[in-house]
A = this chain, B = another copy of it.
Amino acid sequence: MAYGGDMGRPRGFDEDEAVRAAVTLFGRQSFAGTSVDDLVSHLGVHRGSLYKTFGSKRGLYLAALRQHVDRDVTAAAEVFAAATDVDEAVRRITDAGPDLGLLLLALVERAPVDPEVAAETTRALARLRDARGELDRALGLLLRTRATGSAPEFVGE
């Protein structure tokens, strides 16, 4: 009766992949704007499995945000480190780089009211700051790019 803990039917979906899909959804539609039905149909994960794995919609959101910070934000930080200036880096990111929508949304929508989200966004910002000094200008550019749907005129200073 000493199980290795991996008994029974194995998971039929790739958790990492599912979480990634959640990143996309939450990053596009916000937390409140994304329903569990949305998630279920887009992640390809059964409702029951979703609740068993993540506990709640918020649990999945936190998992998504963590992965987002670890993967996409980290990738963005590398772009900043490699680029010659902030404008160039932001252009690269919004062009073909990682989608930072979830981070922006988390900062404005959830961080102010959810301490665990705030902790993650703080982690994200720290990671970005390590890479470059002009964090705020980068954030502003990303914000405007998301809002207008395309690259705004890059007004220098």
Contacts and interface: CB of A to CB of B under 8 A. Distances in A.
Contact of A107 (B29, B32, B144): B144
Interface in A129-150: 129, 133-141, 143-144, 146-149
Interface stretch (A5-13, A49-57, A117-125): A117-125
A40 interface: no
A109 B156 CA distance: 26
B146 A108 contact: yes
- Residue from A29, A108, A144 having most chain B Cβ neighbours under 10 A: A108
Contacts of A118: 147-149
Contact of A136 (B111, B129, B144): B144
A62 to B, nearest CB: 16
Interface of A: 28-33, 104-105, 107-109, 111-113, 118, 121-122, 125, 129, 133-141, 143-144, 146-149, 155-157
Contact of A108 (B105, B133, B155): B105
Q: Which has the most chain B C-beta neighbours within 10 Å: A29, A121, A143?
A: A143
A112 B33 contact: no
Given A135-B155, A157-B134, A104 B112 contact: no
Contact of A137 (B29, B33, B137): B137
Contacts of A31: 33
> Closest 8 CB pairs between A and B?
A136-B140, A139-B140, A32-B32, A32-B33, A111-B147, A107-B147, A140-B140, A136-B137
